[in-house]
Amino acid sequence: MSFESLWADQSAIGRNPETGGYTRGGWTPTEREATHWFLDQCAARGLAVESDGIGNLIAWWGASDGPGVVTGSHLDSVIDGGAFDGPLGVVSALAAIDRLRAEGFEPSVPLGVGAFVEEEGSRFGMPCLGSRVAAGVLSAEKALALTDRAGVPLALALEQAGIDPAGVGPSPLLQRMGTFVELHVEQGRGLTAPVGVASSIWPHGRFRFTFGGEANHAGTTLMEDRHDPMLTYAMTALAANKQARLAGARATFGRISVEPNGTNAVPSQVTAWLDARAADTATLELLLAAITKQATERAERDGTTLEVTPESVSPIVNFPTGLRDRLVGVLDGAPVLPTGAGHDAGVFSDAGIPTAMLFVRNPTGISHSPAEYAEQDDCLAGVEALAAVLKDLAK
C-alpha cells in the first residue's frame, strides 16, 4: 500500500473540520480509533502485534524472537494539533515495510513498527507517558495517580479503553528493542534538506506555577487594596519571554487555570504551566531560576504567594554518534541537527537502547498547530530514507 493511500486512510481521524486541527488525547475515542486503524493495517500485513500493560504496541515482521530493529512513533496529538506530529512516523514505518517487502528483502533480525501511547501528554500532563512507564522511569503508582482535566484518573481511562490497569509497569517490549529509529516531522526551521538526522534533544521540563491571592469584588475593591495573583502571573509570563530570549532558550506559558474564574471577581488563585527548554542543562537551570526570582519578587510586591512545582524534567539526550554517523552514511551525508522537541526516542535512548532519529523537512517551521505541514515529496523521501536505514540495520 502506498504512503499516499495510508496517509489518506487515517487523516480524518480526530480532525476538526472547522480548524483543520487534530485532537487525539490518550485513550480517548479518537486516539482509540487511530489505534484500531493501526491494528487493522498490521493485520492486513500479517504482522504479529505485541502490547504491554499501558497500551504501547509493536508489530513485528520477520523472526519471531530475539532483539530487533524497531521504528515508529505515536498516534496521539496535542489539543488542536497538526496532522504530521506522530502519525507521520507510524505511517512512514508501515510504508517502509511495504517497500522492503516489495523489493523481496528478508531481514536477518525482526523489524518492528511501534505505536506508543500519550507521547504528547495532552490528556494527563506527562509527556512521553507510555514510553516513560515502559522504561520504568515513571512508576506504575505515580502514573495511575495522574488525572486529566476532567478529574478522570489514568486507571479509569485505561479501564474505559479495555486495558487492565493492573498490568501497568515496566514493559517487556523494551527487551526486544535492539535498536530504535524514530522518523518525525521536524518541528522548526532548522532543516533545509528533505531529510535529516538528529544529533540530540534539548533538556526540557514542565513546571507548575501556583500564584495565590485574595478573591474580591472587581467593582468595589480599590486597585491599591488588591492581592491579585493574575498580575503576578502576567509579569511572570513577560519575564519568561525576556529571560528565554536573553538565554537563547525557550519558555512558554501555554496553559492557565483561574479560580474562581469569574469576570467580575479578583482571582483567588492562578495556576500556570511553564514549558522551558534550552540547549544544555546549565542554561535550563539558570533560565528557571531567573524566572522564579522575578516571579517571587513580584509576588512580594503584589501581596501574593508563589509555589513552583516541577512536573516533569528531561535531561539532554545525545544520540549515539556511531549509530548517527551510520545513518548519515546510508543517506549519503544527510544533515545533522539538534531538536528542542521531546520524543519517545529520548526516553528509549536514556534507557540504554541504541536510538536514532530521522527528520522530514517542515517548510514553515510551524508545529503543534493545524498549520503544521510537510510536502508530499519530502514525506516520500522520508519513507525512502527510513527503508534504506532499516535495510542496513536489519542485514
Tell me the domain boundaries of the chain. Answer: 3-202+316-393, 204-314
Q: What is the pLDDT of residue 62?
A: 85
Q: What is the pLDDT of residue 76?
A: 98
Residue 118 labelled as part of a binding site: no
Residue 36 labelled as part of a binding site: no
Looking at domain 204-314, its CATH class is alpha beta
Q: What is the pLDDT of residue 65?
A: 78
What are the respective helix, strand and coil percentages of the chain, to the nearest 5?
Answer: 35, 25, 40
Cα dihedral: 208, 211, 212, 217 (round 10): -130
If we measure between CA atoms, which residue out of 300, 295, 306, 287 comes closest to residue 235? Answer: 295
Q: Which residues contact 326 (CB under 8 A, 6 or more apart)?
A: 392, 393
**pLDDT 10s digit of each residue in the chain, 395 long?**
899 999 999 999 999 999 999 999 999 999 999 999 999 999 999 999 999 999 999 999 987 678 999 999 999 999 999 999 999 999 999 999 999 999 999 999 999 999 999 999 999 999 999 999 999 999 999 999 999 999 999 999 999 999 999 999 999 999 999 999 999 999 999 999 999 999 999 999 999 999 999 999 999 999 999 999 999 999 999 999 999 999 999 999 999 999 999 999 999 999 999 999 999 999 999 999 999 999 999 999 999 999 999 999 999 999 999 999 999 999 999 999 999 999 999 999 999 999 999 999 999 999 999 999 999 999 999 999 999 999 999 98
115 Rama class: left (phi>0) / alpha (psi -120 to 50) / beta? beta
**Cβ–Cβ contacts within 10 Å for residue 303, how many?**
14
Grid look-up 476532567 returns 150
Q: What is the pLDDT of residue 395?
A: 86
- The structural architecture, per CATH, of the domain 3-202+316-393 is 3-Layer(aba) Sandwich (3.40)
160 Rama class: left (phi>0) / alpha (psi -120 to 50) / beta? alpha
Q: What is the pLDDT of residue 63?
A: 72
Residue 241 labelled as part of a binding site: no
Residue 101 labelled as part of a binding site: no
Q: What is the pLDDT of residue 278?
A: 98
Q: What is the pLDDT of residue 151?
A: 96
Residue 217 labelled as part of a binding site: no
Q: What is the pLDDT of residue 66?
A: 82
Question: How do strand 336-339 and strand 195-201 relate by DSSP bridges?
Answer: parallel
3-state secondary structure (DSSP) of residue 249? coil
Q: What is the pLDDT of residue 149?
A: 93
pTM equals 0.92
Q: What is the pLDDT of residue 139?
A: 97
Residue 164 labelled as part of a binding site: no
Q: Which residues contact 19 (CB under 8 A, 6 or more apart)?
A: 80, 370
Domains 3-202+316-393 and 204-314 share a fold: no
